[in-house]
């Protein structure tokens, strides 16, 4: 057995407890954001390039894999675009579910509302986040990319709660 387990959130701590880890052996060390990289920058350049005719830009960054259910972004986009047609979604990242996700975007006639960058360097990611209006997080209580958006004053929207979410959690 491990003498010490380090995890990055209280929700991950709860998961470890369900696997039988001893509470005294678990230490929560929240992951941080490099404030030299993730800071507010000028929005104009990226918005002109990838969102010129759009009023609102939502950004998701991370791995796009089936277990995270990226379909929820597509479902949300369908509803948002009905009420706010000048909204665009930037997807920053890649993963095994990306081809199916792109197919769903096309099947729902939402291609003009999506931009896919693939993987980018952290400095470029910081620029995308800074140029957006809202950050999207699929699993708000697990290993999520909230800190980068928050560090730049960009609001974050958790699209759903997993079974580990707690309304009183400070994760």
Q: Which residue has the higher pLDDT, 21 or 40?
A: 21
Write down the CATH number for the domain with range 44-158: 3.40.50.2000
Residues near 167 by Cβ (< 8 Å), separated by ≥ 6? Answer: none
pTM more than 0.85: no
**Domain parsing of the chain, residue ranges:** 1-31, 44-158
Q: Helix or strand or coil: residue 115?
A: strand
Residues near 136 by Cβ (< 8 Å), separated by ≥ 6? Answer: 58, 59, 60, 73, 76, 89, 156, 157, 159
Q: DSSP 3-state helix, strand, coil percentages of the chain (rounded to 5)?
A: 35, 20, 40
Q: What is the pLDDT of residue 56?
A: 93
What pLDDT, in 10s, does the model give residues 105-127?
Answer: 999 999 999 999 999 998 898 89
């Amino acid at each position: 057995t491990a003498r010490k387990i380090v995890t990055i959130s209280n929700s991950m701590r709860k998961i470890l407890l369900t696997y039988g880890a001893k509470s005294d052996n678990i230490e929560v060390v929240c992951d941080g954001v490099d404030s030299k990289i993730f800071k507010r920058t000028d929005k104009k350049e990226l918005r002109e390039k990838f969102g010129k005719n759009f009023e609102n830009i939502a950004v998701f960054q991370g791995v796009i894999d089936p277990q995270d259910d990226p379909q929820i972004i597509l479902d949300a986009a369908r509803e948002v675009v009905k009420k706010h047609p000048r909204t665009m979604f930037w997807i920053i990242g890649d993963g095994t579910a990306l081809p199916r996700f792109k197919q769903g975007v096309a099947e729902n006639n939402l291609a003009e509302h999506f931009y896919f960058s693939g993987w980018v360097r952290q400095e470029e990611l910081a620029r995308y986040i800074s140029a957006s209006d809202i950050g999207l997080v699929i699993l708000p209580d697990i290993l999520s990319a909230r800190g980068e958006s928050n560090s730049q004053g960009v609001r974050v929207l958790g699209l759903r709660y997993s079974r580990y979410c707690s309304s009183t959690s400070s994760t």
